[in-house]
Amino acid sequence: MRTQIFFKLLVAAVIVIAVATITLDFAVRRSWEASLRQQITLSLTQKAELFAHEVQDVSRPSLPQDVSEISTAANARATVINNSGKVLADSEANPPEMENHATRPEFIAALQGHTGSNARRSHTLGIEFLYVAAPIHGGAVRLAYPLTEIRETVGEVRKTLIEASALALFIA
How long, in residues, is the chain? Answer: 172
Contact present, 34 and 26 (Cβ < 8 Å): no
169 vs 155: CA distance, rounded Å:
21
C-alpha torsion 165→166→168→172, nearest 10: 140
Segment 62-77, tens digit of pLDDT: 899 999 999 999 999 9
Structural contact between residues 134 and 141, judged by C-beta atoms closer than 8 angstroms: yes
Residue 169's pLDDT band, with cuts at 50, 70 and 90, is low
pTM confidence score = 0.78
**Averaged confidence pLDDT in the chain:** 88
Residue ranges of E strands in 16-137: 77-82, 87-90, 116-121, 128-136
Q: What is the tens place of the pLDDT at every residue in 97-132? A: 999 999 999 999 999 999 999 999 988 788 899 999
- Higher pLDDT pick, 95 / 18: 95
What pLDDT shows up at residue 127? 86
Q: How far is CA 117 from its chain centroid?
A: 11
pLDDT of residue 172: 59
Give Cβ neighbours of residue 28 (< 8 Å, ≥ 6 apart): 157, 158, 161
Question: pLDDT tens, 22-36?
Answer: 787 777 778 877 888
Whole-number Å distance between alpha carbons of 43 and 10? 48
Contact predicate 143/47, CB 8 Å: yes
What's the average model confidence in pLDDT over 135-161? 86
User: What is the structure's pLDDT at 26?
Assistant: 76
* Side-chain half-sphere CA neighbours of 142 within 13 A: 35
Could you tell me if 21 and 165 are in contact, meaning their C-beta atoms sit under 8 angstroms apart? yes
Sign of the C-alpha dihedral computed for residues 112, 118, 124 and 125 taken in this order: positive
Share of the chain above pLDDT 90, in %: 55
Question: What's the pLDDT score for residue 156?
Answer: 81
Q: Is the pLDDT of residue 170 over 80?
A: no
In this prediction, residue 162 carries a pLDDT of 75
